[in-house]
Chains A and B, each alone.
Chain A
Amino acid sequence: DIQMTQSPSSLSASVGDTVTITCRASQSISNYLNWYQQRPGKAPMLLISAASNLQSGVPSRFSGSGSGTDFTLTISSLQPEDFATYYCQQSYSSPPYTFGQGTKLEIK
């Protein structure tokens, strides 16, 4: 199975900052990489699919890039509602569609 590794596991930042979260796959997954946001006590929400495709309704301060094994999620001009946990997920080929371990973004 494909393993997904996110870094860092946690991150402190301030409102207005720009942050980057990295996700690495154990083998090439082309651009079959998705990003989710999960706020405490809530279900996950899809932010980005296919590495860089922003979902409808997601603010443009979120962006994704990468292909192959290395991917990034960038959040520019952090807003208070962005402090949450972020997960990458690979959806390459057949299941299982594994998630990364998550990155908790906290307010500094």
Chain B
Amino acid sequence: QVQLVESGGGVVQPGRSLRLSCAASGFTFSLYAMHWVRQAPGKGLEWLAVISYDGSNKYYADSVKGRFTISRDNSKNTLYLQMNSLRPEDTAEYYCARDALLYHSSGHCDFWGQGTPVTVSS
């Protein structure tokens, strides 16, 4: 069965960096685009970034562009989110999610991880 397990969350001071990981199993990871989505406490979902199946294309929300970098290692079946220059407003639960279509990024996500919390506070 498809499994996505995020890790790497925690408490970090403003201005510092953090790298999230998402370990995938139960499907051929290298054939799917992957997304990161976050949810601030008590708030709605915010789409952050997508990476193509082969890592050649990446897109970001304006709120994180230039600070966050999405990447993947298909040999390790792992998705990453490098988060730099963190701000208090980046405090949220961070989810990785699989795009619903093979190869092509459809934009909708059919499997989600359980999330990893990130708190940015001094």
Residues of A within 8 A of B (CB): 1, 32, 34, 36, 38, 43-46, 49, 55, 87, 89-92, 94-102
Contact = CB atoms under 8 A, between A and B. Distances in A.
B81 to A, nearest CB: 15
A95 B105 CA distance: 10
Contacts of B50: 95, 97
Contacts of B95: 43-44
A46 B110 contact: yes
A46 B44 contact: no
Contact of B108 (A89, A98, A102): A89
B102 interface: no
Interface SS, B side: strand
Nearest to A56: B110
Interface SS, A side: loop
Nearest to B95: A43
Contacts of A101: 44
Interface string B91-119: 00001010010000111111011110000
A38 B61 CA distance: 22
Interface residues of B, number: 24
B47 A94 contact: no
Contact of B112 (A44, A94, A99): A44
12 contacts: A32-B107, A43-B112, A49-B108, A90-B107, A92-B107, A95-B50, A95-B105, A96-B47, A97-B35, A97-B107, A98-B47, A99-B44
Given A43-B114, A46-B100, A87-B44, A94 B59 contact: yes
A101 B107 CA distance: 17
Contacts of A46: 100, 108-110
A69 B95 CA distance: 28
Nearest to A99: B45
A89 B107 contact: yes
Contacts of B109: 44, 46
Residue among B46, B95, B112, B114 with max Cβ neighbours from chain A (10 Å): B112
Contact of A102 (B35, B44, B60, B62): B44
B106 A91 contact: yes
